[in-house]
Chain A
């Protein structure tokens, strides 16, 4: 990596805050996050959102890569089953993640570090609630060290 390293140094007395990467589908969940914004619904500032066209686009490797790269948690959200803008992409994703979930547990990744959920474009409040929940769970689990690289 050539880029400058910007450390967000935690002061001694401050609680550890996890960093969570979120993959949101463009049509429902990303729009739900937008609605949370427009409605000024406050939620913890721990997530960083990556927009993808559809939850079906999310490759298992995106999730694993996020964990090996040091993100403390991963959050994935698509349209509710039946609402998919691309007809059935979220169902494909659901099947894929059902398998991945077990695999991750096999790897020793604590359940809850990777969260799958649905949020629609009208569910700004729900989106905020889900982020709060995910943040809380990951915070309890502590920093993600399972895949920590020895630089």
Chain B
């Protein structure tokens, strides 16, 4: 069957949105379906995100706006999948679009209907903690910003229809069924949080001051029910002692919850505790947990900061019940300390850290798409490709396949897009429509002819600002040849009016005085561009968000302020110039650095899309770190996978493999790199051009100096042990084997968790136990971090009789040789000592970065490393495989310790991100960027230090000597350079000093 160049993405949380953006940017038509009425999912509900404490809304909303406006993304809300037929490359999907009773094309999102609605219904977004009307949007920054009527609450009074000036309320709108033809499908429905059943042990639902973590997140949020104050629901008091209870509904084998670990709760709880203390300093949080599972990049540092800087108290205990003091509504917790004491303690508020469940409609979706679910009702995925479902052509990302955090979800979102790219690459650009635009009218040098359109926005502006007066005032301003008012300037008919007026009055600058440019500027820019004006000849005055809505009782002042804002916009508009987005060619070839699994997967997927690929490996052989690994914890055969991969890479016509290679130089920028390597025993020099770079240089095992390693033959590392059990039967004669965890991890030298050692130890222990059931195996640990579904194997190991003993982190175990035996002295956290006589000690050594290599490569590519010498991505949450330097990506262990599956996901993600560049013949740089006047530049180089994008360099100019120049391909237009330029040589187009001065002056 003929393949189709369109993709269906189900679920528009952060995962689905990222997939849609990647695929839209790579030239595919994307149908993005969302079951609720706005996109953004759980992330939009969060206050802050760990480990950076980034404001969730700040970082996610630009992405959502982009998703909502992307010309290749067709977004539908309130949808349900009805039927799916077909196969990879060609599916037909029947979708039910449920009506909102509000016409999406007409609704301007002004919110008058919501305010007029007399029925206050419960607000799901604020987790039932505040009230909302039956006519509502989910939250103020919702995308798409349209209101919806909830028929369950609506009493049919008709008030909303009466107040809607846009006539968008249409009670008789009906559901619609559409049929979509797509080549690939990505499922991203997310998760549902565990909700404690009725009559739960914690009194949730019965005691007012017991809330779930997601409810607490809304309490913390500045846009939440208490406007960011942490108050307890029973009486609105500030709670001083707040207890967080971990593993609610997770790691639960009683049948009430889920047996797996939900992976994210340890970290989000630490974050909530820190933020609560930050919001209100009197709050003293206590966290009750079994293990602290801080296994991700920089997570452990966050936990340490929470304890040391914010006074968060950790107690290792699982609370079994809570009692409420009926008078004070305080909560009494009874717990057992590690040394066996029973303690009762009073808390003013309790937060239940609830786990992640599969989405409620998991079975429905699985049934419709024909995919299999796993034993926990999450989507079942391929062992070596975590985004591949059981049906070819259908991929999954985010929490639908296993509980995971935001960066992993975003990585998988891009990884799924990467797989779709590989599947449908020949159908790129077949279904997207390019708009034909008229040639731009030449305006340079002409006196400004400004048109000002002032918006009534129904009553939203008109009711609080004297719009006719503002129009009259605008007419009086210099260079304004037209000023007019519109009921809704953003409506489709007004766009036609604006275009007509541009022609009629020969306008060469357009100003709209209405709402915020953050959401509406692109719309109006598109309109004036369609009329032949350069899109940068546009300005907005935000008289709604900054005047009418915030000065509702000050008609005169709001009007005066609106006039001021219009004047400032006019002053700026008189100084604006048309801008050009420069176009750069793209070399459709790639450089992949590192020939381990990550690098090879990336190279192969590039090559399969017909992108010529240069794969550079410093060793003689391909394979990297995985050559030491035989199986994964879940039973995947690593060696078979690896040799198959090496074979494919070595024989692929589009891949040039350079082994024993060293990179000499990497020059150039996004789309246009030129590099040279020395390779082979002869150190032959090779030169090539490429459009992107993927850094997949891996990491290495820590080489211990401690625990008698290398001095006693019976002390070996976990990977050496893995070799022993997979290639010999030598352990049959060992009576007792001790494994020591966190060797070279979570210490002063390497203050991070190496993520896979717990799973590795348990994997090898189970294999060894099966091989030699009489051998006792003892694992000495600090925390067992078998996150996600790996928890099953932890339990399996304990059931097999493997003994787990926690050791005190300040007193690591000591090994004393006694004849052929090794005596292991252990100090437990409550300072008891245990002696074990063992035959063998296995050290679970951590992963360490290749410091010198990474530093060298970092310099060549101008990309940064973190404190632990791993590569530092552009944004820890939302750009996990991108570098701030465009066109350069990171994947695998070079980024931070991770499993093989995660490395493969990152490799695919890097492929997808790279495809957004490689799929184009040329890329457009930003229009609003910096430029340096060489006549003014003194060549001091201050701007170079301030540029976060490495866009500036010093050159020798024939006429001006040493001067800085900005590479317009790399510049993002932030202006950090210009603010510091002591010669005022740098200016930022679109925000030029002249324009800003014009806004400042002329007030009096």
Which residues of chain A have a CB within 8 Å of any CB of chain B?
1-6, 8, 19, 21, 26-28, 30-31, 33-43, 45, 48-54, 56-62, 65-66, 69-71, 79-80, 82-83, 85-89, 92-93, 96, 120-126, 128
- Residues of the B chain whose Cβ atoms lie less than 8 Å from the Cβ of A120: 55, 57-58, 222
- Tell me the bound Cα distance from A43 to B550 in angstroms: 6
From B55, B56, B544, B558, residue with most partner A Cβ within 10 Å: B55
- Residues of the A chain whose Cβ atoms lie less than 8 Å from the Cβ of B57: 31, 120-122
Q: Does chain A have a CB within 8 A of B20?
A: no
Task: Give the shortest distance, in Å, between B448 (CB) and chain A (any CB).
Answer: 13
Whether A50 and B550, one on each chain, are in contact in the complex, defined by CB atoms closer than 8 angstroms, is no
- Tell me the bound Cα distance from A62 to B423 in angstroms: 53
- Tell me the bound Cα distance from A28 to B59 in angstroms: 9
CB closest chain-A residue, reference B554: A45
The 6 A-B pairs of least Cβ separation, nearest first, read A57-B975, A37-B545, A56-B976, A86-B974, A87-B948, A45-B557
Q: Does chain A have a CB within 8 A of B437?
A: no
Task: Give the shortest distance, in Å, between B49 (CB) and chain A (any CB).
Answer: 10
- Tell me the bound Cα distance from A88 to B974 in angstroms: 10
Q: Are A83 and B974 also in contact (CB < 8 A) when A4-B476, A40-B552 are?
A: no
Task: Give the shortest distance, in Å, between B521 (CB) and chain A (any CB).
Answer: 10
Give 8 new A-B contacts, CB below 8 A, not counting A27-B58, A42-B550.
Answer: A4-B476, A31-B61, A37-B545, A45-B561, A53-B973, A53-B975, A69-B1001, A79-B58
- Residues of the A chain whose Cβ atoms lie less than 8 Å from the Cβ of B1000: 21, 50, 62, 65-66, 69, 71
- Tell me the bound Cα distance from A48 to B1003 in angstroms: 11
- Residues of the A chain whose Cβ atoms lie less than 8 Å from the Cβ of B568: 48, 50
B975-1000 CB contacts (< 8 Å) to partner A: 975-976, 978-980, 984, 988, 991, 993, 996-997, 999-1000
CB closest chain-B residue, reference A79: B58
Interface residues as binary, B545-569 with A (CB distance below 8 Å gives 1, 0 otherwise): 1110111111001101101110110
Whether A96 and B140, one on each chain, are in contact in the complex, defined by CB atoms closer than 8 angstroms, is no
Task: Give the shortest distance, in Å, between B458 (CB) and chain A (any CB).
Answer: 15
From A1, A57, A83, A88, residue with most partner B Cβ within 10 Å: A57
From A5, A33, A52, A121, residue with most partner B Cβ within 10 Å: A121
B483-524 CB contacts (< 8 Å) to partner A: 516-518
- Tell me the bound Cα distance from A1 to B571 in angstroms: 11
Query: Which single member of A30, A65, A96 contacts B979 (CB below 8 Å)?
Result: A96
- Tell me the bound Cα distance from A90 to B545 in angstroms: 24
- Tell me the bound Cα distance from A23 to B56 in angstroms: 23
- Tell me the bound Cα distance from A31 to B141 in angstroms: 9
Whether A65 and B997, one on each chain, are in contact in the complex, defined by CB atoms closer than 8 angstroms, is yes
CB closest chain-A residue, reference B547: A45
- Residues of the B chain whose Cβ atoms lie less than 8 Å from the Cβ of A69: 1000-1001, 1003-1004
- Tell me the bound Cα distance from A48 to B980 in angstroms: 24
- Residues of the B chain whose Cβ atoms lie less than 8 Å from the Cβ of A61: 984, 993
- Tell me the bound Cα distance from A12 to B47 in angstroms: 47
- Residues of the A chain whose Cβ atoms lie less than 8 Å from the Cβ of B62: 27, 85
Query: Which single member of B54, B228, B551, B978 contacts A126 (CB below 8 Å)?
Result: B228
- Tell me the bound Cα distance from A28 to B571 in angstroms: 25
Q: Can you offer 12 A-B residue contacts whose CB atoms are under 8 A? A: A19-B1003, A26-B518, A27-B58, A27-B62, A38-B545, A42-B551, A45-B561, A57-B991, A69-B1003, A82-B53, A120-B57, A122-B47
- Tell me the bound Cα distance from A80 to B993 in angstroms: 24
Q: Are A37 and B546 also in contact (CB < 8 A) when A71-B1003, A83-B54, A123-B228 are?
A: yes
From B53, B518, B545, residue with most partner A Cβ within 10 Å: B545
CB closest chain-B residue, reference A26: B518
Whether A53 and B551, one on each chain, are in contact in the complex, defined by CB atoms closer than 8 angstroms, is no
Whether A33 and B545, one on each chain, are in contact in the complex, defined by CB atoms closer than 8 angstroms, is yes
- Residues of the A chain whose Cβ atoms lie less than 8 Å from the Cβ of B978: 57, 59
Q: Are A52 and B991 also in contact (CB < 8 A) when A19-B1003, A83-B58, A93-B979 are?
A: yes
- Residues of the B chain whose Cβ atoms lie less than 8 Å from the Cβ of A56: 946, 974-976, 979
- Residues of the A chain whose Cβ atoms lie less than 8 Å from the Cβ of B928: 53
CB closest chain-B residue, reference A7: B1004
Task: Give the shortest distance, in Å, between B623 (CB) and chain A (any CB).
Answer: 35
- Tell me the bound Cα distance from A30 to B583 in angstroms: 30
Q: Does chain A have a CB within 8 A of B473?
A: yes
Task: Give the shortest distance, in Å, between A22 (CB) and chain B (any CB).
Answer: 10
Query: Which single member of B52, B552, B974, B984 contacts A57 (CB below 8 Å)?
Result: B974
- Tell me the bound Cα distance from A60 to B214 in angstroms: 43
Whether A92 and B973, one on each chain, are in contact in the complex, defined by CB atoms closer than 8 angstroms, is no
CB closest chain-A residue, reference B875: A87
Whether A45 and B551, one on each chain, are in contact in the complex, defined by CB atoms closer than 8 angstroms, is yes
- Tell me the bound Cα distance from A19 to B563 in angstroms: 14
- Residues of the A chain whose Cβ atoms lie less than 8 Å from the Cβ of B564: 48
Q: Does chain A have a CB within 8 A of B935?
A: no
Whether B55 and A83, one on each chain, are in contact in the complex, defined by CB atoms closer than 8 angstroms, is yes
Task: Give the shortest distance, in Å, between A75 (CB) and chain B (any CB).
Answer: 13
- Residues of the B chain whose Cβ atoms lie less than 8 Å from the Cβ of A85: 58, 62, 974
- Tell me the bound Cα distance from A65 to B557 in angstroms: 25
- Tell me the bound Cα distance from A26 to B221 in angstroms: 21
Interface residues as binary, B107-148 with A (CB distance below 8 Å gives 1, 0 otherwise): 000010000000000000000000000000000110000000
Interface residues as binary, B635-673 with A (CB distance below 8 Å gives 1, 0 otherwise): 000000000000000000000000000000000000000
Q: Are A8 and B546 also in contact (CB < 8 A) when A48-B565, A86-B976 are?
A: no
Whether B140 and A35, one on each chain, are in contact in the complex, defined by CB atoms closer than 8 angstroms, is yes
Q: Are A35 and B223 also in contact (CB < 8 A) when A50-B568, A128-B550 are?
A: yes
Q: Does chain A have a CB within 8 A of B542?
A: yes
Q: Are A41 and B550 also in contact (CB < 8 A) when A121-B57, A122-B57 are?
A: yes
Whether B58 and A122, one on each chain, are in contact in the complex, defined by CB atoms closer than 8 angstroms, is yes
Whether B61 and A121, one on each chain, are in contact in the complex, defined by CB atoms closer than 8 angstroms, is yes
Task: Give the shortest distance, in Å, between B328 (CB) and chain A (any CB).
Answer: 29
Task: Give the shortest distance, in Å, between A89 (CB) and chain B (any CB).
Answer: 4
Q: Does chain A have a CB within 8 A of B827?
A: no
Q: Are A40 and B549 also in contact (CB < 8 A) when A48-B564, A53-B928 are?
A: yes
Q: Does chain A have a CB within 8 A of B160?
A: no
- Tell me the bound Cα distance from A45 to B561 in angstroms: 7
- Tell me the bound Cα distance from A73 to B568 in angstroms: 17
- Tell me the bound Cα distance from A43 to B558 in angstroms: 11
CB closest chain-B residue, reference A49: B546
- Tell me the bound Cα distance from A40 to B114 in angstroms: 13
- Tell me the bound Cα distance from A128 to B549 in angstroms: 12
Whether B553 and A42, one on each chain, are in contact in the complex, defined by CB atoms closer than 8 angstroms, is yes
From B227, B478, B571, residue with most partner A Cβ within 10 Å: B227
Interface residues as binary, B24-62 with A (CB distance below 8 Å gives 1, 0 otherwise): 000000000000000000000001000011111111011
CB closest chain-A residue, reference B223: A122
Query: Which single member of B473, B565, B946 contacts A92 (CB below 8 Å)?
Result: B946
Q: Does chain A have a CB within 8 A of B843?
A: no
Whether B948 and A125, one on each chain, are in contact in the complex, defined by CB atoms closer than 8 angstroms, is no
Whether A89 and B518, one on each chain, are in contact in the complex, defined by CB atoms closer than 8 angstroms, is no
- Residues of the A chain whose Cβ atoms lie less than 8 Å from the Cβ of B551: 42-43, 45
Q: Does chain A have a CB within 8 A of B769?
A: no
- Tell me the bound Cα distance from A43 to B561 in angstroms: 13
From B56, B560, B563, B1000, residue with most partner A Cβ within 10 Å: B1000
- Tell me the bound Cα distance from A8 to B1000 in angstroms: 17
- Residues of the A chain whose Cβ atoms lie less than 8 Å from the Cβ of B997: 62, 65
Whether B221 and A125, one on each chain, are in contact in the complex, defined by CB atoms closer than 8 angstroms, is no
- Residues of the A chain whose Cβ atoms lie less than 8 Å from the Cβ of B111: 38
CB closest chain-A residue, reference B47: A122
